[in-house]
């Protein structure tokens, strides 16, 4: 019986966009019923541990691996109040936030928790291989590479952090699952990963919008909305969601069709961006026809979905595009962008437009509203399209792939993690000695640059989960550590503290959590030297 660890700890992450959350929920519901010979260990954090209690059973247990509760997540219900537009899109900086939380919150990191529990595979539905241990296969899900296609939506520090994050996945994942063929091709093109290690498994549709509440009409009336008299765009106000272009298109539509009683409804929770869009709507003279509803409770959100005439989705980039299927599943026509993954998700059941051409958006709106027969055909084809993305199909595919990854683990090797390309460490450096050679010595040299905030930095050396040595290095000095290692899967951890964030210290835009500069790190044997800095 295999033991699969599922990492559910990300702090507002990379992966913790709406599609990632739906994916995790559906898999946790479906895998135990299909993988009847497997057990599941849910790696949780204090902010979601209790909320996941209902998932526990004979073959599914929780383990809280992050003890402190981040203030920014207070009151955030991880699964029960899933609202896609409420979530912060996955970004590289999230991994750094998570690592800082881990460092300061008593995570079971130095005791090799997965090995201690007998875990056979680590599954990361939110991408980050945070609890990676050499020798245990890792399957990570990649939801998008937006920073590659739209780098101008990110500052340079954010792009660097995202690149480092995906480098982490590239080096540690035994297999990568992508949520669309578009994302899979992006990974092949940009991550330098063996295509044989990358698969596409589509997200499944879910049931949260399955039926319309009897109180839906009253809910819409309370919001000032008329049923079937508005186009709906459920998306937060990030630049790639293209709200401004949609406002321009809607302005043109109203000018060309003054007799059409149609409004435009937005949901989203980025207040500053919403304020700017409200000003744009006022400047265009259409503010009375554009409704900004903000964050909505689940039942209200469902009522707004069911009351919409059609979905209008002008996004410039989507790794998957769950709202497309949500609309189709409840019988709403879909007008959407032809960008990124959206054509393969929508298939032949949508009207597509160029999201950069407002007139193209307008013409598709006019075509739909002028042709009831077309609208009826789109509803029927949309329902058939949504049925193709069934939870059972998705869970079956994941089950087969997870077991395949367990049968074909990455070969063990000497490796080092926790050191960035420029030589800076985070709060923890791990060295794995995997080669079966005569006893060797770890030689690592660290520098505490003169500009670091603290006068002295400490390094605690752990071997097999037990602290065996401690060191100090003063600002402006270097330290060389030498430690014998044994044959086989010897694991050494160098815990570095305190760390600092240059941006928080007003030392520049660097958002990473930094410790020391690692000048060299090698495993030295009789006549051999394996430079681990070159193998990162």
pLDDT of 384 above 70:
yes
Higher pLDDT, 385 or 18: 385
3-state secondary structure at position 59 = coil
pLDDT at position 497 = 94
Tokens describing residue 43: 């790696």
Summarize pLDDT for 83-106 with one digit per residue, the tens: 333 333 333 444 444 454 444 444
pLDDT at position 86 = 32
Summarize pLDDT for 21-78 with one digit per residue, the tens: 778 888 988 999 998 999 999 999 888 888 888 888 889 999 998 876 444 433 334 3
Summarize pLDDT for 123-151 with one digit per residue, the tens: 999 888 888 887 789 999 999 999 999 99
The C-alpha atoms of residue 343 and residue 88 are separated, in whole angstroms, by 24
pLDDT at position 512 = 85
pLDDT at position 485 = 83
The C-alpha atoms of residue 211 and residue 225 are separated, in whole angstroms, by 19
pLDDT of 333 above 70:
yes
- The label of the residue with tokens 């002295």 reads 456
Higher pLDDT, 508 or 101: 508
DSSP 33-50: HH-TTEEEEEEEETTTTG
pLDDT at position 443 = 95
The C-alpha atoms of residue 245 and residue 520 are separated, in whole angstroms, by 51
The C-alpha atoms of residue 148 and residue 437 are separated, in whole angstroms, by 41
pLDDT at position 435 = 60
Tell me the domains of the chain and their CATH numbers. Answer: 2-203+392-407 (3.40.50.2000), 216-389 (3.40.50.2000), 415-535 (2.60.120)
Share of the chain above pLDDT 70, in %: 86
The C-alpha atoms of residue 237 and residue 269 are separated, in whole angstroms, by 8
Confidence of residue 447 (pLDDT cuts 50, 70, 90): very high
Q: State yes or no: cis peptide before 498, omega within 30 of 0.
A: yes
CB-based contact 299:219 (threshold 8 Å): yes
The predicted model gives 477-491 an average pLDDT of: 82
Element (H, E) at 443: strand 440-447
pLDDT at position 437 = 64
């Amino acid at each position: 019986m295999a033991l699969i660890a599922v990492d559910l700890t990300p702090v507002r992450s990379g992966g913790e966009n709406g599609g990632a959350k739906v994916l995790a929920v559906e898999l946790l519901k479906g895998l135990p019923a299909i993988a009847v010979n497997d057990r599941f260990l849910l790696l949780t954090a204090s902010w979601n541990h209790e909320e996941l209690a209902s998932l526990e059973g004979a073959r599914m247990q929780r383990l809280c691996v992050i003890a402190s509760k981040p203030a920014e997540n207070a009151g955030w219900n991880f699964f029960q109040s899933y609202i896609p537009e409420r979530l912060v899109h996955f970004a590289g900086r999230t991994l750094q936030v998570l690592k800082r939380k881990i460092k300061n919150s008593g995570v079971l990191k130095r005791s090799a928790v997965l090995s201690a529990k007998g875990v056979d595979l680590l599954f990361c539905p939110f991408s980050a291989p945070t609890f990676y241990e050499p020798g245990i296969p890792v399957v990570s899900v990649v939801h998008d590479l937006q920073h590659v296609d739209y780098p101008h939506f990110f500052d340079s520090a954010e792009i660097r952090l995202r690149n480092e994050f995906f480098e982490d996945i590239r080096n540690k994942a035994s297999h990568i699952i992508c949520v669309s063929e578009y994302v899979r091709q992006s990974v092949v093109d940009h991550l330098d990963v063996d295509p044989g290690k990358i698969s596409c498994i589509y997200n499944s549709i879910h049931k949260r919008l399955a039926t319309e509440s009897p109180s839906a009409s009253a809910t819409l009336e309370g919001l000032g909305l008329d049923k079937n008299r508005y186009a709906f765009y459920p998306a937060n106000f990030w630049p790639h969601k293209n709200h401004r272009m949609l406002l321009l298109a809607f302005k043109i539509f109203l000018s060309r069709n003054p007799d059409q009683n149609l409004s435009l409804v937005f949901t989203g929770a980025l207040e500053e961006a919403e304020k700017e869009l409200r000003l744009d709507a006022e400047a265009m003279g259409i503010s009375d026809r554009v409704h900004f509803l903000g964050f909505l409770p689940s039942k209200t959100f469902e009522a707004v979905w069911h009351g919409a005439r059609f979905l209008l989705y002008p996004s410039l980039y989507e790794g998957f595009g769950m709202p497309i299927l949500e609309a189709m599943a409840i019988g709403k026509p879909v007008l959407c962008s032809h960008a990124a993954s959206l054509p393969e998700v929508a298939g032949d059941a949508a009207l597509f437009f160029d999201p950069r051409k407002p007139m193209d958006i307008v013409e598709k709106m006019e075509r739909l509203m002028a042709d009831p027969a077309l609208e009826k055909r789109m509803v029927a084809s949309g329902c058939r399209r949504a049925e193709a993305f069934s939870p059972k199909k998705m869970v079956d595919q994941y089950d087969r792939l997870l077991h395949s990854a367990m049968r074909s683990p990455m070969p063990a090797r000497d490796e080092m993690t926790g050191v960035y390309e420029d030589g800076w460490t985070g709060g923890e450096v791990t060295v794995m000695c995997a080669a079966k050679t005569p006893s060797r010595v770890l030689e690592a040299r660290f520098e505490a640059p003169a500009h670091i905030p603290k006068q002295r930095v400490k390094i605690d050396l752990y071997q097999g989960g037990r602290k065996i040595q401690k060191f100090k290095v003063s600002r402006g000095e270097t330290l060389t550590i030498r430690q014998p290692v044994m044959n086989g899967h010897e694991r050494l951890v160098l815990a570095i503290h305190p760390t600092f964030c240059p941006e928080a210290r007003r030392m520049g835009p660097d958002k990473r959590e930094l410790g020391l500069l690692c000048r060299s790190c090698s495993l030295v044997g009789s006549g051999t030297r394996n430079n681990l800095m070159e193998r990162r």
